[in-house]
Amino acid sequence: MQQQVMACFGGCVPEGEGGGPYLSHHEAKVARLRDKELTKLLNKQHKEDLKRLKILLLGTGESGKSTITKQMKIIHINGYSFAERLEKIKDIIRNVRESLLSMVGAMHHLNIPLENAESRASADFILDQAARQDTETSEEFWDHCEKLWSDCGVQKCYDRSHEYQLIDCAKYFLDKIGEIRSLNYAPSDQDILRCRAITTSIQHIEFDVPDAGQSVKFRVYDVGGQQGERKKWIQVFDNVVAILYLGDTSCFDQTLREDTSKSRLIESLEIFEQVWNNSKSRLIESLEIFEQVWNNRFLRPVSILLFLNKIDILAEKIAKGRSIKDLLAQHPGVFPDYDSCPVSSNERIEFMDAFPGGTEQTTKRRSRSSSRTDINPEVVKTAVYIKNLFTRIVRGELSINKTIQPHPKEWHQNHSCEYFYTCAVDTNNVKKVLEGCRTLIIRKHLESVILSCGTSGRNGQQRAPEVIPEMTISGHRYAVVTAIVLAIEEQ
Ligand SMILES: Nc1nc2c(ncn2[C@@H]2O[C@H](COP(=O)(O)OP(=O)(O)O)[C@@H](O)[C@H]2O)c(=O)[nH]1
Ligand SMILES: [Mg+2]
């Protein structure tokens, strides 16, 4: 048996021995060659893998991970081809259908009546579609969608969307049904960025970024963020250079969406109730997962780049009168007092610089004057407060996840956490943030490679110790990139 197994893997089994299928001398030779060829290929692939800086996107469901990978495709690869754009139409149709289904279902629970009697037929038509997975549409479907979305009752229900589960892009697509239903419709970059499709497997994209005359290769892994998907995260922890953690700043007034809630939301009242009664806050979930990642022993040397995302939706919510204080009041003694948390002028400038809407020049000018009159101060205060919750976890001053024993400061000395305010659907903002991240990732990676190599260089030779600190600290980016490539090749 052992011999048969060996033969399957190209091992040579002498003719006439044993009772299994034998390989002739020629066959054995071919198998050996194939084995050698395969090993060579695998080794080459492994070396290639090691030369790519592996980045992991983590965060709870709907925090914006996949949107960031789409931005990377737009910014660093060739963007979306016409055929790829057309493929997204199916997801957009699903988004439209799911949004209306969620709202019609929620109207029942929130006791909000349809204002127009004619909308009843449209609501029934959409409810009939609940179990449909396909994306066939008809003129009748689009007419009903338009009719429903224009009903004042549906609009009232939309305004209370924090009380049930509604995807973030609902309004964006429902407002443009006229365009989407046209036969000539091809989704724009913004439509692709806004479109929501659940990520259920580990996906990755690869791209090269020129950096100081060198080409740095990145491989970015996107994983599903829903509860059931998180057990898969560990599979990709190996050799990770940095983690981009997406924290949704706008979700402070929302509760968790369960994996099961997707397509059967209306179909099964039982599941609807389950989702309805699931009152765990999305923000608390995000903080808990962040704490877990920050204290995970497999990720001890891995730095985290924290993206405080959806700042545009945060601003919309504050404009509607929503406040994080309601959440804090539900958890007395857990969080620092909101009103007495100061916002420094640096913190204010950081946020204003990142907030969409300022052109490059005006942003700088506004930074100097440290105020942008188009941003409500309460938005800044909430964003900074949420940022401080994450940074307190980093400093070990706040613990949300009671199952985690925070480590002492020294445990964290080989990794750090940097934060950025982001609006993942804004290409300018993401481009700027990614540029900052790239430099940080390269610097941190070099530091960790040097740490793990100690002072030994190529072929075990002693590397001149004085060269290393100079390379890491002086910031000569050319030297840094070259050193990384060499160090990775050595691994
Ligand atoms: N307005 C706005 N929408 C966002 C932002 N980030 C993500 N989204 C939307 O949020 C939804 C979920 O994002 P997605 O990237 O799929 O989340 P994931 O589950 O973490 O991969 C999508 O409809 C995105 O377009 C943001 O900063 N602003
Ligand atoms: Mg995703």
Confidence (pLDDT) at 481: 34
Q: How would residue 260 be classed by pLDDT, with cut points 50, 70 and 90?
A: very low
Q: What is the predicted pLDDT for the residue at 287?
A: 94
What does the pLDDT read at residue 391? Answer: 94
- The reported pTM is 0.80
CB atoms within 10 A of CB 225: 25
Domains of the chain: 2-49 (no CATH), 53-79+198-260+276-439 (3.40.50.300), 82-194 (1.10.400.10), 451-490 (no CATH)
By alpha-carbon position, which residue is closest to atom 7 of ligand 1? Answer: 64
Spatial neighbors of 62 by CB under 8 A, at least 6 apart, are 167, 168, 196, 225, 248, 251, 257
pLDDT at residue 246 tops 80: yes
Report yes or no: 96 and 173 within 8 Å, Cβ to Cβ: yes
Query: Does the annotation place 309 within a ligand binding site?
Result: yes
Distances (CA, A) of 294 to 269, 287, 413: 38, 10, 12
**Percent of the residues in the chain that have a pLDDT greater than 70, as a whole number:** 76
For residue 15, what pLDDT is reported? 37
Identify the nearest ligand to the CA of 223 by its number.
2
Residue type, 157: C
Burial environment of residue 453 by CB neighbours within 10 A (0 to 12, 13 to 18, 19 or more) = middle
Between CA 27 and CA 24 the distance in angstroms is 5
Edge-to-edge strands, sheet with 214-222: 203-211, 214-222, 53-59, 240-248, 303-309, 417-421
Ligand 2 (ion): residues with CB under 5 Å are 65-66, 199
Residue nearest to atom 19 of ligand 1 (CA): 62
- List ligand 1's pocket residues with C-beta within 6 A: 59, 61-67, 167-169, 193-194, 196, 199, 225, 246, 309-310, 312-313, 423-425
With residues binned 3-state (H G I as helix, E B as strand, rest as coil), the percentages for the chain, rounded to 5, are 55, 10, 35
pLDDT band at 148 (very low <50, low <70, confident <90, very high): very high
In this prediction, residue 236 carries a pLDDT of 72
- For residue 153, say whether it is annotated as part of any ligand binding site: no
Cα separation, 61 vs 280, in Å, equals 14
On whether 257 is known to bind a ligand per the annotation, the reply is: no
Residue 347 falls in the annotated catalytic set: no
Tell me: pLDDT of 179 over 90.
yes
Segment holding 415, helix H or strand E: none
Comparing 24 with 157, which gets the higher pLDDT?
157
For the question of residue 62 being annotated catalytic, the response is: yes
* Alpha-carbon torsion, ordered 263, 266, 271, 277, to 10 deg: 120
pLDDT above 70 for 295: yes
Mean pLDDT for 111-136 is 87
| Residue nearest (by alpha carbon) to ligand 1 atom 24 | 194
pLDDT reported for residue 12? 36
Question: pLDDT tens digits for 53-107?
Answer: 889 999 888 999 999 999 999 999 999 999 999 999 999 999 999 999 999 999 9
Which residue, by CA, sits nearest to atom 26 of ligand 1? 310
- Which one of 60, 129, 226, 254 is the catalytic residue? 226
396 known ligand binder: no
Q: What is the pLDDT of residue 40?
A: 82
CA 14 to chain centre: 54
**Using CB atoms within 10 A of its CB, is residue 258 exposed (0-12), middle (13-18) or buried (19+)?**
middle
What is the average per-residue pLDDT within 36-40? 83
Lowest-confidence range among 211-220, 230-239, 322-331, 344-353? 230-239
* pLDDT one-digit tens code per residue, 180-210: 999 999 999 999 999 999 887 788 899 988 8
Cross-strand pairs, 240: 54
Least confident of 136-140, 395-399, 426-430, 431-435: 136-140
State the pLDDT at residue 48. 63
Strands (E), 15-97: 53-59
Reply yes or no on whether the pLDDT at 394 is more than 80: yes
Is the model's pLDDT at 264 over the cut of 60? no
- Tell the residue number behind the tokens 């055929």, with chain if given: 83
Please name the helix (run of DSSP H) or strand (run of DSSP E) that holds residue 204, with its range, or none.
strand 203-211
Residue 109 or residue 238, greater confidence: 109
Q: Is the pLDDT of residue 286 over 80?
A: yes
Ligand 1 centroid – CA 16 distance (Å): 64
From the list 94, 97, 181, 196, the catalytic residue is: 196
> How confident is the model over 436-490, as pLDDT tens digits?
888 888 877 777 666 665 544 444 443 332 222 222 222 223 333 333 333 333 3
Residue 359 is predicted with a pLDDT of 59
* Annotation marks residue 359 as catalytic: no
Residue 399 CB-density burial (10 A; 0-12 exposed, 13-18 middle, 19+ buried): middle
Instruction: Please give the average per-residue pLDDT across 164-187, as a whole number.
Output: 95
Residue 65 assigned to a binding site: yes
User: For all residues of the chain together, what is the average pLDDT?
Assistant: 79
Task: Look at residue 483 in the predicted model and tell me its pLDDT.
Answer: 35
177 contacts 149 by C-beta, under 8 angstroms: yes
Q: Looking at ligand 1, which atom is closest to the CA of residue 197? A: 16
Distance CA 16, CA 218 (A): 52
> Residue 269 pLDDT > 70, yes or no?
no
